[in-house]
Amino acid sequence: MKHSIFLFLATFMFASTLYGQDKPIDLGEVLIVADTKLEDFSNTQETTILTDSIIRKSKPSLTNLLNTNTTIYFKENGAGMVSSPSFRGTTAQQTAVVWNGININSQLNGQTDFNTINPTVFDELTVRSGGGSVLYGSGAIGGTIHLTNTLSYKKGFRNSVSLDYGSFDTYGVTYTGEVATNTFSTKIAVNRSGSENDFEYVEKEGKNLNGSFYNTSVNTTIGYKIDEDNTLTLYNYVYDGERHFSLIFPSELPTKYKDFNTRNLLEWKGNFTDFTSKLKLAYLTEEYKYFPNIEKPDFSTANVESFVAKYDAGFTISEDIRVNGVLDFTQNKGEGTNIQQETRNITAFNLLLKHNVSNRFLYEITTRKEITNTYESQFLYSAGASFRATDFYTIKVNTSKNFRIPTFNDLYWQGSGNPDLKPETSYQAELGNHFNFQNFEVGVTTYYNAIQDMIRWLPNGSAWMPVNTDRVKIYGLESQLGWSHTIGKHHFSANATYAYTVSKNDKTDKQLIYVPYHKGTATLGYALDRFSAYYQFLYVGEVFTNSDNDPKFNVDAYNLSTVGLDYSFGKNKNHTLGFTVRNLLNTAYESVASRAMPGRNYNLHINLNF
Amino acid sequence: MKRIVSLLILALVVSFSFSSCSSDDDAITDDDGGEPLGEYDNGSFILNEGNGNPATASIAFLGDDGILVNDIFRSVNPDADEIGSFLQNMFFDDTRAFIISGSANSVTVVDRYTFEYIATVTGDFEAPRYGAVANGFAYVTNTGDFSTGDDDFFTAINLQDYSTTRIDLNNWSEKVLEENGKLYIANGYYGDGNSISIFNPQSNTVEATIDLGPNNSPNSLKVEDGVLYVLTSGFDVQSKVFEIDLGSNEIADTVSVPSEIGRASNLVVEDDLVYFTSGASVYSVGVDENNISTEPVLTYESNSEYGVMYGFNVEEDGIYISDGGDFSSNSKAFKYSLDGTLLETYTVGVGPNGFYEND
């Protein structure tokens, strides 16, 4: 068995240098997407869409999916453990995760742990580079990650079941069901994932202890067309997970962590001749429990419930000019072991303008002003233009002011919280170049980002207190390349990304810790009839882990290879059987210092559609 | 969240960083001036606690000759495993040094003069803090849950075979020292707990508790000439120096730290002077005096917003200070003369939290 796998791999490695990946599935149906701003007001920035077919290859982790397909760097505190992004050299709290148009970063610590989101219950993932605080609020500084569910009103009853099983007792079960008529559509996606995660270390003694995890995600979307013009859509997303945090030393006290999050959104959309009306009501809850000693029942906890109401009126002034006025209100109510009950209200008004001057030139201006009693509210903006200079070349410019507001922990942590904190603010500008010729698509974006009033926890006497302190200057380059080609039945594709990032503390002139100068990804795919295969490559440059950039403590650069083979079966090729090998070369590597990551591992999956 | 927890743990580490552990009480020494017993005789160890990455934790040796050697454990024992990070405290018996790691939940035993690795002790630890040796056992205080003293306990390490047993103390238990076969435990931290326990290692029981009065949490303690000196601090209460007569276990005298000085920590008694610190300043008062001058012996320059006066000790030849820096880079240690003149500046490891004399 082992022998034949390697034989296959060797053959494949040769083939993969020549061929490419299967094309994303074109759903080709009427889609209702709550996050319409993503399409309407992202024309002057870079967006990357990851569709269903790519999502299904990267199960079960959002970290893995984004790490291998985008320029975002991830710092993973051991496999499956807390995972935080650095997007364009920013901190974990400066990337916003947006679920169907609603920002779902934690109100407690300001960030999203990318290992607590299972991508298989979403239909589409979009990565939007650069500032987006006007549209997506706090934390949209480095960029935003959009988790999107779609609905179709195409009559039918569709089901899909996916099972996967792999090394270290890692499993995943996903069911997706969809029922639709002309006026009613509902879709449910349920996933259960888990792993013993007890891999043997590569190149050293011992194995990953106390690293097991499991989680359940349920995502439901229900849509109803009231009449020709009006649609009601209800979105619901529940995540329930438990992780044991892995150990560096076997003698450490084992700990565990539970997450329970719910997100609910009701949207009423009215489409009229020159006017669109959208009312959104969202109710979100988040809760964690941290057990500092697994043997004991004691835990610390906190929870926040948030209520969001948003009204969006869109006017088509003329064929080329579109204006939106958005009024939104957010209330967050939180309490916990170390946070007394606090309520925060934020009201904001947004004005958005898009003007297609000609079919070659458009510009967008968006603004936001908030009113709140919790922090000094700011005026945010974004302005950009896109110009298609030639058939194959488009240039985009964008500048924006964005922010990250203080979190509940920052403001209200007992004995430490600092109610006088200001938001972190970022001024940024970018220039994007896009080339399109024949089967090639190339994007090269350069950017500059100055962030001030970074919130950091510093000691104040014997207690620690968050204060607005550092300034950070970031500049860099992001590039993407896409290519696909078909000869007869042979379909080839290649995708690659590369990012160069300089992110320096203004005072010390040192690169921020855990921000690599270089990161690159590449995917080569090949499909023939019922077979498709891919090879994926990831390079992460070395990162500093100490603020003085002492190279003695650097986490070394690493590169990882993944290969996968899928076979479609059934009359309409609607079922798939697949096999994936990750960390093909059994490389010993760490994402975070001293946290060994798994060596070569295998995954077998089957996907049935009926 | 994880970050906050580690910050809080770090905050506790900050506020209770060890003051002094001059080991001259319990060591069989080379009688000062004889042949050194190893490479690391005649000088002080500097414990660099490190951060979440065990590679950043290290131990330096500053010889009486003024020469600093960094990272001695790894250079002496290149093949040994990492000893953990958040190195909390170091203590000694005649021949061995014991190094407590908060993150690895373990005690590493080395030869105190050659620093050769001897053993790693694990089991029966839960957030170990400080230790002392008595009656053939090493006693290590454990915090357990940081928010309560009820679950605090001793891990007793049999120094013959390094087996461990657990002895419940059920009272805030932090710093501990040995004197005349008894252990004196500082019951309190962070403003909670306000007594000293006297522990009998023959019977493994607490035989007396000395109440220091409301809000007077012991911060650091030291024995000199039959007197136990205890520095207390707490929220909204003046710091005080208690002098406890070890013959009667009675509080013989209490001296208040003037409120202008603020909250005090890092008590050291050296040569009939009581030293302590507040902020970046060092103060001193004669052991028989009752008024503390608000004029500092010295105030050092710290660029650190994080860990001012993170490690402190006074020896015969000078005052030693280490600065916590930002806990994410190599930091500094300073040697001052006893009258407050800066003599030397050294670059040490990450988060230097204490000096341990080895003579």
Interface test with B, best of A75, A82, A464 (most B CBs within 10 A): A464
pTM above 0.90, yes or no: no
- Residue A463's pLDDT is what? 57
Q: What is the dihedral of CA B14, B19, B25, B26, to 10 degrees?
A: 10
- Residue ranges of chain B whose CB lies within 8 Å of a chain A CB: 1-5, 7-8, 10-11, 14-15, 52-56, 82, 84, 101, 103-106, 120, 122-123, 125-127, 144-145, 190, 263, 305-307, 326, 328-330, 350
CB-based contact B194:B188 (threshold 8 Å)? yes
pLDDT confidence of residue B13: 39
Q: Where are the beta strands (DSSP E) in A100-139?
A: 102-103, 124-129
In SS3 terms, chain B reads as CHHHHHHHHHHHHHHCCCCCCCHHHCCCCCCCCCCCCCCCCCEEEEEECCCCCHHHCEEEEEECCCCEECCHHHHHCCCCCCCCCCEEEEEECCCEEEEEECCCCEEEEEECCCCCEEEEECCCCCCEEEEEEECCEEEEEECCCCCCCCCCEEEEEECCCCCEEEEECCCCCCCEEEECCEEEEEEEECCEEEEEEEEECCCCEEEEEEECCCCCEEEEEEEECCEEEEEEEECCEEEEEEEEECCCCEEEEEEECCCCCCCCEEEEEECCEEEEEECCEEEEEECCCCCCCCCCCEECCCCCCCCCCCEEEEECCEEEEECCCCCCCEEEEEEECCCCCEEEEEEEEECEEEEEEEC
Q: Which of A252, A407, A510, A591 to mutate to test the interface with B (most CBs of B within 10 A)?
A: A252
Give yes or no for a contact between A514 and A482, defined as CB atoms under 8 angstroms apart: no
The residue of chain B with its CA nearest to that of A256 is B2
Give pLDDT, residue A58: 56
Q: Please tell me the number of Cα atoms within 13 Å of B275 on its side-chain side.
A: 23
Q: Which residue of B has its CA nearest to A206?
A: B81
pLDDT tens-digit profile of B229-280? Answer: 999 988 778 999 999 999 999 999 999 999 999 889 999 999 999 999 999 9
User: What pLDDT was estimated at residue B242?
Assistant: 96
Whether the complex's predicted ipTM is more than 0.85 is answered with: no
What is d(CA A185, CA A52) in angstroms, rounded to the nearest whole number? 19
Contact between chains at B105 and A548 (C-beta distance less than 8 A): no
Low-confidence ranges of chain B (pLDDT < 70): 1-34, 190, 305-306
> Would you call A548 an interface residue with chain B, using a CB distance cutoff of 8 Å?
yes
Q: Quick check: B84 and A298 CB within 8 A?
A: no
Residue of B nearest to A108 (CA): B1
pLDDT score, position A33: 61
Which chain B residue is nearest to residue A107, measuring alpha carbons? B1
The verdict on a CB contact (< 8 Å) between B126 and A293 is yes
A134: left (phi over 0), alpha (psi -120 to 50) or beta: alpha
* Intra-chain end-to-end CA distance of chain B, in Å: 43
Q: Any CB–CB contact under 8 A between A152 and chain B?
A: no
Which residues 181-210 of A are in CB contact (within 8 Å) with B? none
- Rounded CA-CA distance A129/A89 in Å is 12
Q: What's the pLDDT score for residue A51?
A: 67
Closest Cα to residue A96, out of A424, A520, A349, A348? A424
CB contact under 8 A, A250 and B307: no
Residue type, B53: N
CA distance B220 to B288: 19
Q: At a CB cut-off of 8 Å and minimum separation 6, what does B273 contact? A: B284, B285, B286, B287, B314
Distance from the Cα of B28 to chain A's closest Cα (Å) equals 32
Rounded CA-CA distance B291/A108 in Å is 47
pLDDT value of residue A455: 85
Which of B3, B145, B330 lies at the smallest CB-CB distance from A548?
B330
pLDDT number for residue B59: 97
Report the sign of the C-alpha dihedral through residues B258, B260, B263, B264, in that order. Answer: negative
| Nearest residue on chain B to A295, alpha-carbon basis | B126
The pLDDT averaged over each successive group of 10 residues in chain A (610 residues) is 35 30 34 68 81 62 89 93 93 93 92 92 90 90 92 89 94 94 93 95 93 96 92 96 94 94 95 91 96 91 95 92 94 90 91 93 94 84 94 94 90 82 93 91 95 78 69 94 93 94 92 94 92 94 92 94 93 90 96 94 92
- The predicted-structure confidence for B85-111, as pLDDT tens digits, reads as follows 999 999 999 999 999 999 999 999 999
**Using CA atoms, how far apart are residues A136 and B284, in angstroms rounded to an integer?**
57
CA distance B284 to chain A (A): 21
Chain A residue whose CA is closest to B148: A298
Contacts of B220 by beta carbon, 8 Å cutoff, 6+ apart: B18, B19, B20, B175, B186, B230, B231, B265, B266, B267, B268, B276
Q: Convert the pLDDT of each residue in A360-369 to its tens digit.
A: 999 999 999 9
